[in-house]
């Protein structure tokens, strides 16, 4: 007795198709409340000082959760040793994959060898991890383009293309041990250098090399102190017209420094930023901060989670760059998202209409 053969076959086919669909779209079965426990993912992020990383953490938890994974999220307070021990603990407690926003690009070689030995997938998140073969994929934004957008804002804001100048400018970069910092700086300098060379942009401090302008631990206080000293030493009888700032957190510190030196309203230097942090978006709306670069952390979290899920289910993650990101040992296959320049003119459209912030958040 039993069902006719075609019925049994159909049941089998339906069962197989259902299983395959469940596999390829874990989000869907999770949404239906039927997700298996796919295991634990370690999320190791660098800091909560820049508000963006808090959103990254929330978005990563959300993405993995909807695919049926559990997560362990740890922030390292910009402390290299702390991050190494957090990652080590994640390995020891049985994480299946690690998503790591590295504090230092070069400090994770040993701990990631341990991850590889335990067959744990590793996704570099936002920042490239260097000097190791044990990083599988890299999810980030086009970091050089971030810098290009920053440089372009300054060129446009100062009217350099239509022959303005000379203008004074001071340059700031991020932490030297964050692989992104040099990419941002080089991207910006690729746009600014011609004007520095022809004398229409002048750095009165003379500090123009990456090594001279980095900011320890991306600290706004460190950047503010440096600018205060530069203003004292080089701008007693001159006005500072522009500042290349690598991210919003630093920008707010830099604005405090120029305001303390008496700059107000239209005399404030044109200044860049990055991350579209709410506090800075408000300063853009009020005209104090010139611009920022929006990197949609919702999208980055989605890319990273899909990469990890693909590796864990023996699929190939989608990448769109297999050339640029050599980490000293190998080219790490990368998915690059596109950053978007934001100033007062498109803030509403890019940040509010996309639902990243509500109009009330920006206004309050």
Residue closer to ligand GAL (CB basis): 227 or 312: 227
What is the Cα–Cα distance from 97 to 361, expressed in whole angstroms?
35
# of chain residues touching ligand GAL (CB under 6 A): 13
CB 330, min distance to ligand GAL, A: 21
CB 102, min distance to ligand GAL, A: 9
CB 298, min distance to ligand GAL, A: 14
CB 296, min distance to ligand GAL, A: 12
Tallying the residues shown for the chain, one arrives at: 364
Residue closer to ligand GAL (CB basis): 47 or 272: 47
Q: What is the CA radius of gyration of the chain?
A: 23
180 interacts with ligand GAL by CB under 6 A? yes
144 interacts with ligand GAL by CB under 6 A? no
Alpha carbons within 13 angstroms on the beta-carbon side of residue 27 total 8
Exposed, middle or buried, 264 (CB in 10 Å: 0-12/13-18/19+)?
Answer: exposed
- Name which position in 38, 96, 127, 252 contacts ligand GAL (CB under 6 A): 127
CB 30, min distance to ligand GAL, A: 29
- Binding to ligand GAL by CB under 6 A, coded x per residue (else -) over 191-230, reads ---------------------------x------------
Using DSSP bridges, classify how beta strands 201-202 and 97-100 pair: parallel, antiparallel or unpaired.
unpaired
What is the Cα–Cα distance from 153 to 274, expressed in whole angstroms?
12
Closest by alpha carbon to 125, among 149, 109, 111, 143? 143
296 interacts with ligand GAL by CB under 6 A? no
User: In a 3-state reduction of DSSP, which class is residue 153?
Assistant: helix
What is the Cα–Cα distance from 220 to 280, expressed in whole angstroms?
13
- Name which position in 29, 61, 275, 296 contacts ligand GAL (CB under 6 A): 275
Alpha carbons within 13 angstroms on the beta-carbon side of residue 335 total 20
247 interacts with ligand GAL by CB under 6 A? yes
- Name which position in 61, 136, 178, 288 contacts ligand GAL (CB under 6 A): 178
168 interacts with ligand GAL by CB under 6 A? no
50 interacts with ligand GAL by CB under 6 A? yes
83 interacts with ligand GAL by CB under 6 A? no
- Name which position in 274, 280, 306, 334 contacts ligand GAL (CB under 6 A): 274
- Name which position in 61, 126, 134, 296 contacts ligand GAL (CB under 6 A): 126
Calculate the alpha carbon distances from 345 to 277, 340, 349, 361 in Å. Answer: 17, 13, 9, 18
103: Cβ contacts below 8 Å, ≥ 6 apart: 46, 47, 76, 78, 79, 80, 82, 83, 177, 178
Q: Which stretch binds ligand GAL (CB under 6 A): 172-180, 231-239, 257-265, 324-332?
A: 172-180
Dihedral of CA atoms 155, 157, 159, 160 in degrees, nearest 10, equals -20
Query: ω before 166 within 30° of 0 (cis)?
Result: yes
* DSSP states of 331-344: BPPEEEEPPEEEET
CB 9, min distance to ligand GAL, A: 53
* Positions that interact with ligand GAL (CB under 6 A): 47, 50, 52, 126-127, 174, 178, 180, 218, 247, 274-275, 295
């Amino acid at each position: 007795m039993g069902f006719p053969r075609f019925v049994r076959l159909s049941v089998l086919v339906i069962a197989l198709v259902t299983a395959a669909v469940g596999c390829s779209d874990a989000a869907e079965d999770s949404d239906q409340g039927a997700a298996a426990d796919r295991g634990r993912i370690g999320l190791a992020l660098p800091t909560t000082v820049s508000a963006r990383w808090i959103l990254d953490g929330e978005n990563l938890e959300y993405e993995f959760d909807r695919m049926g994974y559990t997560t362990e999220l740890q922030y390292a307070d910009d402390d290299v040793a702390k991050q190494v021990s957090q990652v080590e603990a994640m390995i020891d407690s049985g994480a299946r994959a690690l998503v790591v926003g590295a504090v230092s690009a070069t400090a994770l070689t040993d701990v990631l060898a341990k991850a590889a030995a335990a067959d744990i997938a590793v996704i570099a998140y936002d920042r490239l991890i260097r000097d190791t073969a044990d990083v599988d994929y890299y999810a980030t934004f086009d970091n050089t383009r971030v810098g290009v957008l920053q440089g372009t804002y300054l060129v446009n804001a100062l009217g350099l293309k239509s022959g303005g100048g000379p203008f004074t400018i001071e340059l700031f970069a991020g932490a030297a041990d964050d692989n992104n910092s040099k990419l941002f700086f080089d991207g910006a300098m690729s746009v600014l250098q011609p004007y520095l060379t022809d004398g229409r942009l002048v750095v009165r401090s003379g500090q123009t090399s990456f090594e001279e302008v980095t900011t320890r631990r991306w600290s706004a206080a460190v950047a503010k102190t440096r600018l205060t000293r530069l203003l004292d030493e080089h701008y007693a009888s001159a006005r500072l017209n522009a500042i290349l700032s690598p991210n919003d957190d630093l920008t707010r510190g830099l604005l405090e420094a120029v305001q303390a030196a008496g700059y107000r309203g239209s005399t404030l230097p044109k200044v860049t930023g990055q991350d579209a942090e709410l506090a800075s978006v408000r300063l853009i709306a009020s005209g104090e901060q010139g611009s920022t670069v929006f990197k949609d952390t919702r999208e980055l979290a989605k890319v990273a989670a899909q990469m990890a899920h693909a590796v864990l289910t023996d699929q190939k993650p989608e990448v769109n760059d297999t050339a640029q990101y050599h980490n000293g040992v190998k080219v790490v296959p990368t998915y690059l998202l596109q950053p978007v320049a934001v100033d007062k003119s498109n803030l509403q459209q890019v940040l509010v209409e996309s639902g990243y912030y509500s109009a009330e958040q920006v206004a309050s």
